[in-house]
Structure formats: C-alpha cells, structure tokens
Amino acid sequence: MPKGAVEHWTSFSSGWCGAWSLAMASTVPSTSPATRASTSADERSGGFILVAVEKVLRATSRSVSSRWCGDTSQVTSTPRHLLLTDREVAESTFSTATKMKPPLRSAADVEALVAGLVDGTVDAIASDHAPHHPDEKDVQFSTAPFGILGLETTVSLCLDRLVRPGVLELGRLVELLSTGPARVLDLPGGSLAPGAPADLTLIDLERQVTVRAGEFRSKSRNTPFEGWTLTGAAVGTLLDGEPVRLP
C-alpha cells in the first residue's frame, strides 16, 4: 500500500452481520465517527484512505462520497458484499462461512454498492482472500475467525452475477479488477499500454464452472458459494509475459 495510505475498516469492524447481529447487540453503525475522524486526519496529512464497502454508498454519487470522505478517499468492495446480504447468515443457520469483516449488510446496502460500481463511486473490487484452516472455522459462529476465500471465485462471480445480467459492462468490470486497483495502490500494472508489465488474466466468457471448495487449489474451504454454478472463468495467467503454470 502506498506511503501515507490508511486502510479503514472501522465502520464495519465490530459485530457480526448486519441486522442479525443487531439482534444480539453486537454491531456498530456502518458510518462510524472513527471513520469520519480518519478521513479528516487523512485530509490534513495529505495521504489517502482506503474505505472498504462503506454504507456511505447509499448516497452513491461521487460528489456526495467525496464531500463525506474527502477527495483522496478510495472505495473498494468485494464480490461477497455485492452478492450476499445479512439474511445469508440466518438462512445458512449461522454457517461460519458467512462470518466476515466487514460483515454482510442489508439488501439496501448491496443495492447501493452495486450502484457505486456503475457510477464510479467504487474504485476497485478486491477478492479479500482470507483463508483459514478448516478446524478454525469448524467452531461456533461466535468464536470463529472472520474471513472467507475470495481469490478463486472473484472473476466467475463477477462475470456471472454482474456482467451477464447486464448490471455491469464488461469493460467496467475489467477496470475494477485491473486499472482500478493499480490506481488505488499506485502500481504500474493493470494496463495494456506499451511498456506496461505484461501481467494478464485470460478469461473465457462462456466457460461454466461449479464452485466446489474441495477442488480449490487453496488448502482452505471457507466459502459461502459452495455449489453455485457460474458462467465465465479465468483460464490462464501471464506474469511479465510468461504463462503461469501451477503444479
């Protein structure tokens, strides 16, 4: 992360999952005073703050977001927060695969985040890959660690649930997964411009995949998307122009 950058999770950092955690008195407001204080300090210091899936996106215009967070704020989201709501927690009978930080929120928040993808409020989509040993997650919901796998499902989830239904243009998704993150982190990649690093992901828009955690390359299995059938998948990777072949 660039010098002077601050990654901010406070607005979602306590509690479990939205309305369901509210019933157990264990959550905090989505736009907390701590987040506002951080953005204010950021403006004074000349750095920037990376705000993860903020509820401020209910006001989805860039002008409103900038006024609240400051022009140097960067906003990211993840596929899970774009596709799942806090009802998933109860409907899964409190599966620990639905325990994450930031926690899942309401349908209204999901709708606002998706709108933010379209209008430019959200700068990047992050996988927020958080693997845990199965034994760590095979406990009561209240004691399980936060986080789920994200790396192996991000592309397919976004293609199938955002691009194919026409919610998001393919070009915009490419931006959110490449040039957007590069811009946020001040990295040279994410572009096909002459001289740019030849780091590429090859995508088959018609490849159908079924999420099966047992077939993941990751040794972890903590995903709420088990059994989902998705169309569109990453089929190859180039790193500095050379094909990446996994063992």
Residue 229 neighbours by CB distance under 10 Å: 10
Q: Is 233 helix (H, G, I), strand (E, B) or coil?
A: strand
Distance of CA 72 to the CA centre of its chain: 20
Radius of gyration of the chain (CA): 18
- To the query of whether residue 138 is one of the catalytic residues in this protein, the response is no
Q: Give DSSP secondary structure letters for 157-208.
A: HHIIIIITTTSS-HHHHHHHHTHHHHHHHT-S-S--STTS---EEEEEEEEE
CA 189, chain centre distance (Å): 19
- 103 secondary structure, DSSP code: P
Residue of 128, 160, 186, 240 marked catalytic: 128
User: Which residues does residue 49 pair with via DSSP β-bridges, in sequence order?
Assistant: 6
Active site residues per annotation: 128
